[in-house]
Amino acid sequence: MPPDDLKPNFQVTGHKQWVNWHENFKPQPLKKLIDVWNVRPEESRIEWYNAATKGFQEVIADALRRGDSMRAIGGGWSFSDVTRTDGILLNTRPLNYRFRIDHNQAHPGYGGDASNLAFVQCGISIADLNRYLRNKGKSLKTSGASNGQTIVGAFSTGTHGSALDVGSIQDYVVALHLIVAPERAVWLERASQPVIADTFPSMLGAELIRDDDLFNAALVSFGCFGIIHGVVIEATDLYYLQAYRRLMPLNLNYSRK
C-alpha cells in the first residue's frame, strides 16, 4: 500500500443512481458511485500516478470479495447505456495527470517523432488535452465537435469521426496501461508498432505485452478489458483549419440534371 501522504482519494458520493450527461436514458440504480481523485491533482508525478494504480487495485480486490460488478466512467457523454452497471461505478473524470515522453523513453524501433508522444491519465478531457498540447506546439490529429469527453471514454466507445487523412480518436492511441486484477497491470502496445522503451512499463509496475490483435481488441472495448488508467497518444504539430462560407440562393423548385 502507498504511504498515507501518497494515497489517492476514493470518495464515496452516496449517490445510488447515475444518468449520463445528456440524460437520454433512465437513471441507473447503483450500489456505489465513487469519485476518484489524485493525491495532488495540480502536479503530475509518476509516484502519484502509481499510487492511483494501487488505489484502483484495492477497490477491485474489495469488489471481488463482495461479489460486486464494477465499471469506470469518464465524462458520461455517451448516448448509450451499454457500459452501465448496477454495482460500483468509478468516476475517473478528476484523473488528469499528463507526462512528456522523452526521446530516451521511446522504443528504438519507433518510427515516429517522440516529441509527438504524450502519456496521459484516463480522466483528462479533450479540452484539457488540447490546452496541454497547444502549449507544446502540438495538436490532436482529430476530434469531435465537442470537447467535454475524457480521452479514454471517447476512444473506448468508438466515438467521433475522422479527418481527410486521419482516422478517428482511437487511431492515434498507441499504448494502453490497463489494470486487470488486484495484483496485475498490463502495458499493451502493438507488436508491429512498438512505441515505448521496454524499461518504461516497469516504472508503473506493469507487465509489457505487445500483440496487435490484443491491442486492437482492447482499444474499443467498452471497458471490458479492465480499467484503462493511462494511454499514450500520438499528436501532431499545431495546425489551423481554414473555413470557407459561400452564400447560396435558396431555391426549393430545383430539379436534378
Written as nine digits, the cell of 123 is: 480522466
Instruction: Count other Cβ atoms within 10 Å, centred on residue 168.
Output: 19
Instruction: Count other Cβ atoms within 10 Å, centred on residue 53.
Output: 20
CA–CA separation, 229 and 179 (whole Å): 7
CA–CA separation, 252 and 81 (whole Å): 40
pTM for this entry = 0.86
Predicted confidence pLDDT, tens digits, the chain (257 residues):
556 677 889 989 988 887 776 677 788 888 889 999 999 888 999 999 999 999 999 999 999 999 999 888 877 667 666 667 788 889 999 999 999 999 999 999 999 999 999 999 999 999 999 999 999 999 999 887 778 788 888 888 877 766 777 778 888 999 999 999 999 999 999 999 999 999 999 999 999 999 999 999 998 887 778 899 999 999 999 988 777 888 888 776 655 55
CA–CA separation, 63 and 1 (whole Å): 17
Q: If you count DSSP H runs as helices and E runs as strands, how many of each does the chain have, helices first?
A: 5, 14
Domains located in the chain, CATH noted: 4-237 (3.30.465.10)
Q: Look at the block and give the residue holding cell 516529441.
A: 115
